[in-house]
Structure 1
Amino acid sequence: MLQEPSQYAGFWIRTGACIIDSFILLIIMLFLLFWFYQGDWDLILDTGRSEQLSVLWFDVTINYILPFILTLLVWHIWSASPGKILLGLKIVDATTGDKIKPLQSLIRYLGYFPSSLVFGLGLIWVAFDQKKQGWHDKMANTVVIKSNE
């Protein structure tokens, strides 16, 4: 059981963790895109286009499948994303305080989509909720807490 509400992570620290995570993922994606497309960076940065043909399977893999797999993997291994780890946060089951299960990770990840749809209201909800849960947390029955580890 979770001990006290004061250990829930609030909106701003979670936003900071998200920014860190986005930066790390951006570096990984840029490295893979540079490796695969090899060149045209001046043209790509100036116009957003390349002389090389885009490869749909690779673009889908890098932009959608890779973030999905990496996110679920790090949540499963460390109960947190790299940004949350750096800021001393952890994702746990809201009822028991235990490590989240794979199904909870999947529901939580997919819950980001409806949470983001209406002006990000489901994400902003963290700032006003008693347990600091976003809609994705409520769907998966998870909370983000300040870790003692």
Structure 2
Amino acid sequence: MTELRYVGFWARVLAMLVDSLIIVAIIWPLMVWFFGWEVLLQGVQGGAAQVVHILLSWVFPILAVILFWLYRQATPGKIALGAKIVDANTLQAPSTRQCIIRYLGYYVSTIPLGLGLIWVGIDARKQGWHDKLAGTLVIYEQKPN
């Protein structure tokens, strides 16, 4: 059996930056198309516009990330690194429940000055608090022999 290679802090930061750039590249043009630059610079306020803003800014990214985790075990940034998210016990794909807990765990990890995210650099298995809460690991994909 091959030894697991955990994905460390800086590689995960790089993956997150790639993912963030992709999300922004998709969402900003849509926001400009829906609202125009003037409204965006002044702030979207009230009614249907606020609903669209929430859908594009919050709901779409949350769904996109969770769906990537469910169907690819990684977001595009992690895919580019050859990394994937697995269940910490079985090393199989995480469940829907684990993916949702993992996503919500980002908030828990971020609130105390990002300590739960920095934990990736401290932990032996490179788990952030969101990984520990969800029972997941981020590992490099094993190459077939």
* TM-score (normalizing by structure 1): 0.88
- Aligned equivalent of 2:89: 95
Quick one: distance in 2 between partners of 1:23 and 1:116? 19
Quick one: distance in 1 between partners of 2:107 and 2:45? 30
Quick one: distance in 2 between partners of 1:44 and 1:33? 10
- Aligned equivalent of 1:4: 3
Give unpaired runs (5+ residues) of structure 1. Answer: none
- Aligned equivalent of 1:24: 22
Q: How does 1:1-149 map to 2 (within 5 A)?
A: 3-5=2-4, 7-37=5-35, 39=36, 41=37, 43=38, 48-49=41-42, 55-148=49-142
Q: Which amino acid in the other structure matches residue 12 of structure 2?
A: R
- Give the match's secondary structure for 1:145: strand
Count residues with an aligned counterpart: 141
Quick one: distance in 1 between partners of 2:114 and 2:39? 30
- Give the match's secondary structure for 2:23: helix
Instruction: Please state how far the C-alpha of 1:142 moved relative to its aligned partner.
Output: 0.2
Instruction: Please state how far the C-alpha of 1:32 moved relative to its aligned partner.
Output: 1.2
Q: Which amino acid in the other structure matches residue 33 of structure 1?
A: M
- Which portions of structure 1, spanning 4 or more consecutive aligned residues, are displaced by more than 3 angstroms? none
Give unpaired runs (5+ residues) of structure 2. Answer: none
1:18-76 C-alpha deviation (Å, 9 max, x unpaired)? 00000000011112102211x3x3x468xx316x8661101111111111111111111
Q: Which amino acid in the other structure matches residue 115 of structure 1?
A: S
Quick one: distance in 2 between partners of 1:53 and 1:139? 36
Instruction: Please state how far the C-alpha of 1:148 moved relative to its aligned partner.
Output: 2.8
Quick one: distance in 1 between partners of 2:79 and 2:25? 18
Quick one: distance in 2 between partners of 1:62 and 1:103? 23
Instruction: Please state how far the C-alpha of 1:78 moved relative to its aligned partner.
Output: 0.3
Across the aligned residues of Structure 1 and Structure 2, the Cα RMSD in angstroms comes to: 1.8
Quick one: distance in 1 between partners of 2:45 and 2:111? 32
Quick one: distance in 2 between partners of 1:98 and 1:88? 16
* TM-score (normalizing by structure 2): 0.90
